[in-house]
Structure 1
């Protein structure tokens, strides 16, 4: 754009152009509309307080909530199948129901630890629910331990870097900046030994990036620090919750709008920019557009914890299995009620109601049913 202004091919360059001595010699620059400097962004390190809850780190809060709901629903399903299925509880008036609500919770807990807790379901419906829960537990534990290893390894490699000197003195993470940009030239031409060492390290590892998006992406992936102008880095931090900008800012500079030498537009542009600055409008615009979008975002997402939607297929599989088990138990009960209706010359609905009242009714209702059967006999 500067070349187009010098060649008189454009009347105005409206862009965040850094004010430099070389540019001032060849084009007119308006009053700066923003001041910034050089800084760097890194992948956000986990809080120290989270170390006390490292066992919970592989899964996010909503994931743990989903697991709790799955545990309760599966235990309830085992309890219902144990009550409904004739293969589990053939004679409610004389047999003892093995799957009470408490035992159902204990059985599900034993399955979650891959140890098991007897007695095991006998009915096909109960075995379907049990098999689906075991598959769910095996896959869930595999995901947990895989992500636990990843999270712990990530935390062990995280370092807290707050200055360029600390960045230059460590070798845990790589760092880079835009290739052939003004930031690269600053480090290349600097007489400061720390900055010179930073450039030599970037040159040796060829860690330059071709554009801002690539630098932000590599930083999000971890083990990389992207060096750039603070105002641009602040915008990236506001959009991506995993990023954090260092507090140190060096080589303060200004952004401005450029025009060809002698342009009559510069005077009015400079006055307008100064008026916006003095009225606070520029500050308001920066606060508006640079406001963080991470407020209220799940911190676990930024730490690499698995979200519930990451394993939604696993939850869908469990839900289908529980539904199939309950449906199969009801079919077993319908079959028994149908056979009893034929033997007792009753309607199917009457036999089914009798079966359900015996399985879910009170002891008084069962005694009443016993009395009714004896009187008929």
Structure 2
């Protein structure tokens, strides 16, 4: 069988050299991939798979002048593989070796997705099926580590979308709770101002004395207008006559000045922040003393434990038959370190958990370690995703096809669609320049100004009662 394959490969090579690719057009290579998301997810409606590798080879007929590729989803990819020796590797890595062991068999494939790591390369040296193995020279994607953490609703950061940030900058500086409280304070201040202006001429036990002329009285609409103009530090054509109204107006103008300064600083921060700062805001901060959950035998976790001394717990990621992560079986109280493809199945997902008889909604978000400047950050090298085959002709076809995708820009579009990266190294610590406070101003950050306004309202009430008492003992009120 191998001799026949070598002859076929030699004939194909000669035909390509003499410029007759059309004579060998139509060869179809079977590609072994994990059966499940995000690699090859079966489509229930059309029975056609979808996923990263499906999108990669979807246009093989249009781009490649020689060969076609069809997927062979393997449902046992994430199951343990029996090897002659024990190797410390993840289930994704061991699954690629299981695929290689079945190359060119009736139940196997001609081409396998291969995770190129130190463990898999060492294991290939002891596999008889890998004696004539050839690996693609152009890695089409890399796997990088991503740290995830779960948070409860109020503790989660308000997500900032860079694409809409420019259009929404005038709302983002304040959290929705602060905007709601400002509206409540405005309505309350206007109502108090109207009440103070109407009732400040009352006397205890005597008939109320009305100011003259009647046009000097504040109406309800004028009270709201006065409060609204004060929010922009603009004067109103009428001035309060009551002591309480004067005190309340002074405090309100001071409160508005503080809010305007805070708002202006927030707008400036949002307009000039970098994309790294936006990503930093959308991520949670994890202490280096907190225990981290890692996929079993992940070399990233070993590096994290050995060089950064982070406590590590190795786990087997719970998956269903489709390859999806079963979120309900994950321990949400421990941050999780996985590759970015696995993180895409977990990130921004919400689960319902029961804690002490209460139903809570837990959100999974990206996270970073809160490292100090003296912390030595190890470089987390990326893992390459290649393809492996026993026939050189298959590898040449894949290399040729991937090169066409790169030159046409199709590979970049695929990377944007699936959030793929070509990063050589990754650091999990939050960058210093991105650690600035970019979140909107929340309620607890406005405690000082809000308390200041409450004191102003109480002071105006005291002034109102003092004026009523003064009018009650004075012979003639003064306006």
TM range (shorter): 0.3 to 0.5
* Length-normalised TM-score, structure 1: 0.44
* Length-normalised TM-score, structure 2: 0.36
**Which protein has greater RCO, CA pairs closer than 8 Å, 6+ apart?**
1
* Larger relative helix fraction: 1
